[in-house]
Every structure is written in C-alpha cells, then in structure tokens.
Structure 1
Amino acid sequence: MKKPRLNRWQLATSLLTTLLFTGQTLACTTFIITPGATASGAMYVGHSDDGHLNDPRLIYVPAADHPPGSMRPVHFDATSIGELPEYGSFVYRRYTGSARGPGYKNPNEPQSKPIGFIPQVAHTYGYFDGNYGIMNEHQLMFGECTNGTKMGNVKPSPKHLFYSAELARVALERCTTAREAVVLIGHLIDTYGFHGTGETLPVADPKEGWLIEMIPGDETFGGLWVAQRIPDGEMVVSANELRIREIDPDNPDQLFSPRLHQVARAKGWWKPEDGKLDWLRTVSLGEYNHPYYSLRRVWRVMDRLAPSLKLSPWVEDGYTRAYPLTIKPDQPVSRRQVLNLLRDHYEGTEFDMTKGVAAGPFGLPYRYLGPYESAGDVADPKEHHDGAWQRPLSVYYCTYSFICEGRSWLPDPIGGLLWFGLSKPAETAYTPIYVGSTRLAAPYTSADPRYYSRDSAFWAFNFVENWATINYSGVHRDIVELRDPLEQGHFAAIAQADKEALALYQKNPAAATSYLTEFSVHTAEQVFTSWQAFGDRLIVKYADGGMNSPGELNHKVGYPKEWLESTDWKNGPTSYARPAAPQTE
C-alpha cells in the first residue's frame, strides 16, 4: 500500500516520535510453568513485551534450506541499547530485509545491515518472531526480560556480536530441545561475544525448561552466562532481575561460561575464599530501577500460585533470598490461570493500583511515567528517588504479551500453541495460533506504531485500552464480558481442532498443516474484527462522560461518592456566600 503524504505537523510529530524512541529500553516479565505443575500436563512460557509503542508485529519466519558455505547475518536489535541508524534497525521497525523470509521484506524502508556473520546450517526451522524469538515448529519456546548488571549498554562490535533477541532466533532456527538451545546460546556467547544489557531467556520444550542468564562483556571478555534447569512440577518467574544464585560446578542441572570464575576474579567481583560464586551478587547491582520494581512482581506471581508459602512482599534489599528460584504451585495450574497471570495490578492486596487517589474516580491502575521518575532500566538501585509508583505485571507501556503452550502428547505442529495478545495484558484477548501454521492473519503482521491504521490489530487493541482510561471500572468490565467468553470459546475450538488436525496428520501431514493454518488465520481475523467493532461501540457508550445506549442517551454516571468527598466538591458553590478563608496559625 502506498504510504500517504504527511503534512508538516505529521512530519514533525514523526520526527519527535523517532527521537523519543531512540534509547528506549524494555522492562518485561517472563515465566516458565513446567508440565508437572499444570492441570493438563502442558509446558507454559509467558512474556510481556513492555517496550511502549515498539514494533508490535508478529511475523512467521519460514523454514529454509541453505547451500554449503552459506553465512548467517547477525543483526542489531534496537531493543538492546536503543536505535543505531547505521544498522538500519529501529524500535518501531526491528528488521527490514530478506534474510528472515517474506514477512520482513519492505523495499520502501531502510534495509537492516548486519553486525557480522556466522556459518549457516543446511536447514533452519520455521518460527514465530517478535522483538525476540518466540516459538518454533518443534515447540521450542522462549520468553525474555532485561536485567541491570555491572556491565551495561555495551555496543555491538566484532567482539560483541550477539544480543539475546538474535540468540533466541538462532536457537529457534537450529534446535528442537531446550537443552540444545542453552548449549548453543552459551557457545555463541563464548565464541562471538554479547552486547547490550543483562538478559534472561527462559527456554523450554514440551518436557524440559531452563533459565539462561547473560551479561555483556568489555574489551577483556566477550560475555558471561549461566543456566539452570527448572525442576518438573515447579515454576520460575523473572522480572528484570537476575534470579540464579550459587553456581556449583558439580550441579548437573547447571551450565555456565567456562570463563565465569576467571573473569569474576579478575574483575574483583568474586574471590575463591568467598565460597560458591553468587551469580546475582557477583555481576549485578541487585534490583532493577528502584526498590521492588522487580521483586514485587516476583512476589505477586509466586503468592498467587502458592499462597501457602506465605511469602512476604517486604524484603531487606535487592539481594534477598526470600524468594526461591522456583516454587511448586499449591494446585495444578489451569490454562485460564496462566493466561491471567500477566493481567494483574495487585488487586486485593495492600498495593492494589485500582485504589487510592492516584487511581482517580474510576479505579485506573496505570501510572504514567514522566521526568520525575527513576532513571531507566539499569539504574543503580541505591540512587536516591523522591518517589516511585508500584510496577504491576500489566503495565500501560506493554506492546504485546504471549503465552507459549507446549503439549508433548501431540505431534509438534499440533502440540505447540502461541496465545498472542496485543497491548496491555489486562485489556487484551489472547488469540491461539498453532505452530504448524505457515501463515498469519494480516492484521497481526501489519503495524507501525508511528501511524494509526484501521487495518492493524495492534491499533484496534491499543484504541480500546486507551479508551478504557475514560472510565476504567466500566470499560474494563465491558472488556472482561467480551474477552472471557471469547477465550473460553477458543478453548473449546482448540479441543475440536486438535482432534481434526490429528486425524489429518496421521494420513497426510501437509493436509494437517493447511488445516491448522486456516484455523489460526480465521480465528485471529475473527478476534480482530470483533475487537474493532467493540471499540466502535465504546465510542458511543462512554461519550461525554455518560453511559449511552440506543435506548437511553446520556445516562449520567458522575463520580463515586467516596472520591467526591476527597475533592473540593464539598466546598463548591452551594450558596451565594463567599466561603470563609481557611484559618492559619
């Protein structure tokens, strides 16, 4: 489609937006719930991509064969340390070119330029891609979150070739199991180096889950990494702080960089007489951004799944051991519970963000950040701050979130499900997409956060979430009334589609692929059109502060009495007499 000509105001706005995006950082939440902890026996990996109007496109990267001697380009990702125009990668458009299949081709945009190259393999697998690699055709799945470390904002170079996003993509292209992926990622860091910030990648297949954490290097070393297997029957959550602690060379469930102890000792971060190397304390400053920015989310997820542990939301510092790496949920976790985990604003706790003066009259849980907030994603947590908001799981600057579901009892094309939701988790509807799909619904692959488009699923969801700020308690109730039956309908449709696809697969795998693709595309298109129509209805229903319907316009809602009493309403003009001046001492 030909891009419309922009007027002077639009050009200025576009330029300002680009400048504001430059240097933007992400601050995500991610988790693994293993099969032994779930009601169905499925593996789940969840991720919220909290990047605030970054690239929201979901892209299918097809499987491919490569001739001998081919080289794979390694590209820069602006999600690491911000935009570097020399690589042609931008926050609003992460990659443009032909190396990842037709989904990223766009001759009208600047073409991405690689940092360097690594040897290519003969065959690469198909996968779903976002700002980070997501899930491949063999049910290998990833999440991600950024962490503050002593090494931060390292620029790409021949000695620091990779960032976590490209590491996940290479693993999705080449691996079928989580353990293979961890070993490959570790090898790539050791061989080619790592740039950007500290990173966590949860990686899982339908049977086994791992957490791999990494930090960038400097002129003396390329990067460091550690990995730990997540025991079956347990779960782990990461929220912008490294989670792995003691590194034990004799632990068969841990893997780590061969140079870890050598580098840590040379840097003065650790001494052998200290005992086992504490990864978090050795390479990081503790908690990310400000106190409880990370740990409160960790507490909240653990407390929701295992309230019997009676974990306290209050700890002594960012290096606390109050929250173990993994926990066993009190009850088997259902798919519905998993989809709801990232939709939380601490409702029902002392930190409930729908309560208090900052939530306004209609319980808005979102707190917009500004110039008075703490200084970004890798700030020293000991830095003084005049104030801070709670950091919820569902945050206003979320671009998209997803839940990967792996099911070992089904063939890979059928067993792997991606539940994908655009904009805030609390205001999205998760759409199921089979990993056997070889095509995605167009509204989910087309979006530019710089320009509103009626054809984009991102903008359909983004509009609804922003309209909800007019009367959050009312609009959110409307969202739930539409969203929950919609998702419940997906559950039933998936159960039937599994049966039909399996019958086809046993006779003709290609026919199953076609069926799964059409099912996924049709379902996503239905979600998009229903959400767009829903947004259109909301425009009228909440127009001008009223509650409107065809049968009754301007049904006055007003404000809750409790909130009114907290304002100067009670001192308003109820008589002609001049109010008495407040007494001073």
Structure 2
Amino acid sequence: MDSSEHSSCTTILVGKNASYDGSTLIARNEDAGVAVNPKKFVVMHPADQPRNYHAKGSQFAIQLPDNPQRYTAVPEAVDQNGVWGEAGINGNNVAMSATETITTNSRVLGADPLTKSGVGEEDLLTVTLPYINSAREGVQRVAQILKEHGTYESNGIIFSDVNEIWYMETAGGHHWVAQRIPDNAYVIAPNQTGIQEVDFNDPDNFMFPADLRDFVKTNHLNPANDFNFRKIFGSDSQLDHHYNTPRAWYGQRYFNPESVQGKSPMSNNLPFICHADRKITIEDIKFVLSSHYQDTPYDPFAPGVDYEKTPYRPIGFNRNQELSIMQLRPYVAKSSAAIQWLAFAANPYNILVPFFTNIDETPAAYGNTTGLLDSHNAYWLNRLISLIATDHYHSLMDQVEAYQEKEMGYGHQRVAEIDKLAAKTSQAGLIKVLTDENDKTADTVMKDTQKLLTKLVAQASNRVRGSFTRAHY
C-alpha cells in the first residue's frame, strides 16, 4: 500500500505529571486513505520475528538482530501490502506508535531527497520495538537506521516508557530531530512538522544528527535567526490550513480554551508543547481523537450543515482504523503496568478496551480479523456500527453515547479488578492470568457491542428511504 494511504493520523502525547494518574500516555489514530482497511491486534513472539526483513511496499530491506523481545502490534489483517504494525508495547514496557505522517518543504527535499530504499511506516514498528529498552533507545535505533538507509517519507515517531515520552520527526531522506516531551505537558500532532525551537545544548531533552546545523547552514534553509525545526523543515500550505492545523486548534481549544482565543483554525503559530490547567484522562484523549468540531460552526453533523462543504477535516471520521492509547503506570508492579487501550473503526462510535500487554495471545475477536466481514470480529463489528450510526447520526447517537459511557466504566472496573488479581499472582503464572483476563474483558465488550448493533439496525431500519406504514392512511 502506498504510504499516502496511511497519511492522516492524529497524535496526542501526555507527560506523566500532566496525566490523571502519573502514567505516561501516548495515543494515535491510525487513519487510512479508504474507510475499510481491516486491522488486528496481535502478540509477536521472538520466534515469529523476521531476521531478514524485506518491505513489501518499498525497496527497504534490513538484517535484524537475533535477540528480539515479545511485543504487541496492530498490523494489517491482510498483509499483502506489508505489516504496518502501528502501535505496541514490548516486554520491557517500552511503547511505540509509528507513524504520524508529516510534510517537509521543497527546499529541504532538494537538499536531502527521500530515498526509495529507505525505511517507512510499513516497517518502523517491526524493525524497532523488539530491540529497545527505553524510549530514548527507540530514538537512537531509528536514528541509526536513518543514517544507514534513509527514509522514503517524512514521519513523526513516538516512544514512551514509564518515565519519558520522546517525539521524533524526520525531514528529508536522512535528517531528524527528537524532543523529550516535558513531564507536565501535552502535545497534539496533526500531520504537520511540530517541533519548534531546538536547544543544541540540552541533550537531556533534544537529540539530533551531528551534521544538522551544518546541513541547514550549507543549504541556506533557515529563514530566521533562531533554530525553529518547524519553520526550517516543515510546510505551511493550503492543505495544512484545511487538513492539518484545525485538528491541533480544536484539541488545544478543548484542553486550553483561552490559548486559542481569537486564533483561526488555520493559524500557523499554534504551539507544539502545551500545558493544560487540569490533569488529562483517558476519556479526554478519546474525546479529542473522536471529535469533529463539536460546538463550532465546522461540525459536519450540525443540523443543516452540508458535510461535503465543511472546510476542515475532522479528527474522528470514517477513515479511522484503530486507536491505541498506551498507558505505562508507575504505581503497580512492572509485570502488569502496561495497558494498551484499543478501539477499532470510526472513533465517534467506538469504545476503548483495556488490554494488559504482558500476555501470550490476544483475544480471538481482536486478533483473528480477516478481509471478510464478520460481525463476531471486533474490527468488522465496529465498522458496521459506524456505517449505520453515521447515516442516522441524530436519531441513533443517544444509544451510542449510552453504550460508550457504560463500556468505559466497565473498562476502568476491569483494570482495577485485574490489578488486584495480578498482585496476588506469582510471576510464573502472571502471563496466563493476564491473557485469560483480557479474554474475559473482550467477551463482555463483544456481547455488549453486538447488542448495540442489534438496536441500531432495528431503529435504522424503521427510518430508511422508501419505508411505509399503514399509519399514513
């Protein structure tokens, strides 16, 4: 699959002192170029990890180390176009989300062209996550791959561990910068180069290739006196103003209404590093990543609005494929600290399900997705719900929202129950217990979701065009 098919994601990062419980939180919608692009949730074991990796959608190939860790991933259900592992947590509780596709301006691309044999979104999780023991090591591994192989696209790549979050942005074929997200901050990244001022004397918070400043100076790339990565390497196009920037504007409006007061959704000076005036929850992240400009003139679902004429691309829409929020908790044992909250299909209608990642296998309803529609599969079940609810938004959303509130409560309940069980379980038996408990969580959620689908089908069927009742006479 061409990389443009996966070029519309939205990322939210929340430092440990900005989150509601002291966890690091990294989240990203994976959006495709089409509405239906089936995904599955899997555990990759060391024996299944390739040693000679060859991409299917590009010319990239690499020899991989012999010591991979177990890790979770959310790859394509049909792998004819490659893996596209997207989001996961490894056995050492390091999380990775890859990638937030971004743009690089023509001056940079002329000085450092993209390379067809380089690494890309299809590959990055597979060739990185099994081999790193910290978020910082994630940046270092990708940096080495970029140095040796380059890349054929510009990307934002996210790493976290229980202490740190790092956001890495590539520019051109071989250049990049990574910034440690401050513990008390949050970030919203919408397919644009985001990192701003780079402090070259602060290795605790910035990483970059050794030649970065010389490269910029030699090629006359800096239009200003300071070193602003976004202004030097990024773009500021009409597409950005309508497709990308408004998503950051709406997210910042949600967390800090005063910060965007008077600013246009097309503003080109929204900050990268932001600070909320309250702690950020899982529900907050889900709301923003499901949003479509509610309570603004730009909501495509507002009464009387022609959705085809709305000026800005929503965050939550039909091309969402999966959302992973990776939560690394500091207040429980490391062996049960990592949770991947997962949602499939369009985010305005789905719910997050908490899956502990120290497991042998994922629940069948989430792991056995195929290219054929199956209402017993989580991806397809949620895709059906989104199809029906979108076309009957105002008559069905009360049912959807009641379901969402109930299931989020259930998710938090399950985390608390499993934490208590894990605390009483020996390390030798913990993986099996967490695997079994994930199955129980998934079973309940699937039953509730199938009940929701039944209600929506019944109600929507009474409202289809051409319906007729004897009450007309």
Code of the residue aligned with 1:459 in structure 2: it is W
1:64/1:124 contact within 8 Å kept: no
Code of the residue aligned with 2:456 in structure 1: it is L
The offset of 1:169, in angstroms, is 3.0
The offset of 1:204, in angstroms, is 1.2
Q: Secondary structure at the match of 1:426?
A: coil
For residues 333 and 396 of structure 1, what CA distance do their matches in structure 2 show? Answer: 26
Q: Which residue of 2 aligns with 1:543?
A: 461
TM alignment of 1:112-123, pairs within 5 A: 115-123=60-68
Q: Which residue of 1 aligns with 2:51?
A: 72
For residues 342-372 of structure 1, give each alpha carbon's deviation from its aligned partner in whole angstroms, at most 9, with x where no partner exists.
121111123233225335xxxxxxx46xxxx
For residues 378-414 of structure 1, give each alpha carbon's deviation from its aligned partner in whole angstroms, at most 9, with x where no partner exists.
xxxxxxxxx7631111021111112111102222331
Give yes or no for the alignment of 1:137 onto 2:91: yes
2:199/2:206 contact within 8 Å kept: yes
Q: Which residue of 2 aligns with 1:43?
A: 24
For residues 164 and 467 of structure 1, what CA distance do their matches in structure 2 show? Answer: 31
For residues 421 and 129 of structure 1, what CA distance do their matches in structure 2 show? Answer: 11
Mean CA deviation greater in 330-339 or 115-124: 115-124
For residues 93 and 263 of structure 2, what CA distance do their matches in structure 1 show? Answer: 35
Q: Which residue of 2 aligns with 1:263?
A: 215
Q: Which residue of 2 aligns with 1:248?
A: 199
Q: Secondary structure at the match of 1:40?
A: coil
Closer, same or farther in 2 for the Cα pair 1:288/1:403, shift >3 Å?
A: farther
Closer, same or farther in 2 for the Cα pair 1:134/1:546, shift >3 Å?
A: same
Q: Secondary structure at the match of 2:411?
A: helix
The offset of 1:179, in angstroms, is 1.1
2:156/2:168 contact within 8 Å kept: yes
The offset of 1:315, in angstroms, is 6.7
1:63/1:127 contact within 8 Å kept: no
For residues 511 and 288 of structure 1, what CA distance do their matches in structure 2 show? Answer: 55
Q: Which residue of 2 aligns with 1:147?
A: 102
Q: Which residue of 2 aligns with 1:224?
A: 175
Out of 66, 71, 77, which is 1:126 matched to? 71
Closer, same or farther in 2 for the Cα pair 1:312/1:166, shift >3 Å?
A: farther
- Uncovered stretches (5+) of structure 2, i.e. residues with no partner: 76-83
2:249/2:265 contact within 8 Å kept: no
Out of 163, 169, 174, which is 1:207 matched to? 163
Q: Which residue of 1 aligns with 2:397?
A: 476
For residues 391 and 3 of structure 2, what CA distance do their matches in structure 1 show? Answer: 30
1:125/1:172 contact within 8 Å kept: no
Closer, same or farther in 2 for the Cα pair 1:545/1:119, shift >3 Å?
A: closer
Q: Which residue of 2 aligns with 1:278?
A: 228
The offset of 1:488, in angstroms, is 0.3
Out of 44, 56, 71, which is 1:61 matched to? 44
For residues 44 and 24 of structure 1, what CA distance do their matches in structure 2 show? Answer: 26
Q: Which residue of 2 aligns with 1:15?
A: none
Fraction of identical pairs, as percent: 18
Mean CA deviation greater in 227-236 or 283-292: 283-292
Closer, same or farther in 2 for the Cα pair 1:278/1:517, shift >3 Å?
A: same
Q: Which residue of 2 aligns with 1:303?
A: 253
The offset of 1:290, in angstroms, is 4.2
Q: Which residue of 2 aligns with 1:96?
A: none
Q: Which residue of 2 aligns with 1:293?
A: 243
Out of 424, 434, 439, which is 1:516 matched to? 434
Q: Which residue of 2 aligns with 1:533?
A: 451
Give yes or no for the alignment of 1:397 onto 2:319: yes
Q: Secondary structure at the match of 2:29?
A: strand
Code of the residue aligned with 1:185 in structure 2: it is V
Out of 28, 32, 41, which is 2:9 matched to? 28
For residues 296 and 438 of structure 2, what CA distance do their matches in structure 1 show? Answer: 38
The offset of 1:476, in angstroms, is 1.7
Code of the residue aligned with 2:53 in structure 1: it is V
Code of the residue aligned with 1:211 in structure 2: it is Y
Q: Secondary structure at the match of 1:443?
A: helix
For residues 275 and 305 of structure 1, what CA distance do their matches in structure 2 show? Answer: 31
Give yes or no for the alignment of 1:435 onto 2:357: yes
For residues 288 and 269 of structure 1, what CA distance do their matches in structure 2 show? Answer: 21
For residues 133 and 202 of structure 1, what CA distance do their matches in structure 2 show? Answer: 9
Q: Which residue of 2 aligns with 1:573?
A: none
Code of the residue aligned with 1:263 in structure 2: it is F
The offset of 1:214, in angstroms, is 0.6
The offset of 1:420, in angstroms, is 0.5
1:241/1:288 contact within 8 Å kept: no
Q: Secondary structure at the match of 1:74?
A: strand
For residues 151-190 of structure 1, give each alpha carbon's deviation from its aligned partner in whole angstroms, at most 9, with x where no partner exists.
4994532xx2x12453333332111211111122112211
Higher relative contact order (CA 8 A, sep 6+): 2
The offset of 1:485, in angstroms, is 0.7
TM alignment of 1:456-467, pairs within 5 A: 456-467=377-388
For residues 555 and 237 of structure 1, what CA distance do their matches in structure 2 show? Answer: 53
Code of the residue aligned with 1:184 in structure 2: it is R
Code of the residue aligned with 2:95 in structure 1: it is M
Closer, same or farther in 2 for the Cα pair 1:22/1:123, shift >3 Å?
A: closer
Give yes or no for the alignment of 1:355 onto 2:338: no
1:240/1:288 contact within 8 Å kept: no
TM alignment of 1:487-498, pairs within 5 A: 487-498=408-419
For residues 350 and 412 of structure 1, what CA distance do their matches in structure 2 show? Answer: 46
Q: Which residue of 2 aligns with 1:563?
A: none
Q: Which residue of 2 aligns with 1:156?
A: 116
1:241/1:287 contact within 8 Å kept: no
Q: Which runs of 4+ in 1 moved over 6 A?
A: 553-556
Closer, same or farther in 2 for the Cα pair 1:133/1:74, shift >3 Å?
A: farther
1:59/1:445 contact within 8 Å kept: yes
Closer, same or farther in 2 for the Cα pair 1:404/1:492, shift >3 Å?
A: same
Q: Which residue of 2 aligns with 1:550?
A: none
For residues 311 and 168 of structure 1, what CA distance do their matches in structure 2 show? Answer: 38
Code of the residue aligned with 2:249 in structure 1: it is W
1:147/1:198 contact within 8 Å kept: yes
1:134/1:141 contact within 8 Å kept: yes
| Alignment coverage as a number of residue pairs | 452
Q: Alignment RMSD, CA only? A: 2.9
1:45/1:403 contact within 8 Å kept: yes
Closer, same or farther in 2 for the Cα pair 1:389/1:554, shift >3 Å?
A: farther
Mean CA deviation greater in 462-471 or 280-289: 280-289
For residues 266 and 312 of structure 2, what CA distance do their matches in structure 1 show? Answer: 17
Code of the residue aligned with 1:49 in structure 2: it is E
For residues 23 and 31 of structure 1, what CA distance do their matches in structure 2 show? Answer: 21
For residues 300 and 384 of structure 2, what CA distance do their matches in structure 1 show? Answer: 22
The structure with the larger Rg is 1
The offset of 1:301, in angstroms, is 1.2
TM-score (norm 1): 0.71
Out of 340, 349, 352, which is 1:418 matched to? 340
For residues 356 and 439 of structure 1, what CA distance do their matches in structure 2 show? Answer: 45
Closer, same or farther in 2 for the Cα pair 1:312/1:125, shift >3 Å?
A: farther
For residues 147 and 117 of structure 1, what CA distance do their matches in structure 2 show? Answer: 24
